[in-house]
Amino acid sequence: MKDIITLGIESSCDETSAAIIKNGREVLSNIIDTQIKIHEKYGGVVPEIASRNHIEAITRVVENALKEAGLNFKDIDVIAPTYGPGLVGALLVGLSYGKALSYALKKSLVGVNHIEGHIAANYITHKDLEPPFLCMMTSGGNTQIGYVKDYCNFEVLGKTRDDAIGEAFDKVARVIGLGYPGGPKIDKLAQEGKPNIELPKIHLDNLDFSFSGIKTAVINLHHKNPDINKADLCISFEKTVSEVLLQNVLKAIEQTGVKKVALAGGVSANSYIRKEFLKLEDQGIKIYMPDLKLCTDNAAMIGAAGYYRFKNGDISDLTLNAVPNLKLGE
- Binding positions for ligand KG4, rule: CB under 6 A: 13, 139-141, 166, 169-170, 181-184, 187, 265-267, 269-270, 296-297
Q: Which residues pair with residue 316 across a beta bridge?
A: 109
- CA 114: distance to chain centroid? 7
| Distance in Å, CB of 247 to ligand KG4, minimum | 19
Q: Which residues pair with residue 8 across a beta bridge?
A: 19, 80
Residues 6+ apart with CB under 8 A from 97: 9, 58, 59, 62, 81
| Distance in Å, CB of 322 to ligand KG4, minimum | 15
Closest to ligand KG4 by CB, 76 or 197: 197
Q: Which residues pair with residue 135 across a beta bridge?
A: 146, 262
Closest to ligand KG4 by CB, 193 or 266: 266
Q: Which residues pair with residue 262 across a beta bridge?
A: 135, 288
| Distance in Å, CB of 96 to ligand KG4, minimum | 20
| Distance in Å, CB of 272 to ligand KG4, minimum | 8
Closest to ligand KG4 by CB, 252 or 273: 273
Q: Give the count of alpha carbons within 13 A of 252, CB side only.
A: 29
Residues 6+ apart with CB under 8 A from 316: 83, 109, 110, 111
Closest to ligand KG4 by CB, 98 or 184: 184
Q: Is 31 exposed, middle or buried (0-12, 13-18, 19+ CB in 10 A)?
A: buried
Closest to ligand KG4 by CB, 13 or 322: 13
| Distance in Å, CB of 173 to ligand KG4, minimum | 7
Closest to ligand KG4 by CB, 98 or 266: 266
| Distance in Å, CB of 250 to ligand KG4, minimum | 21
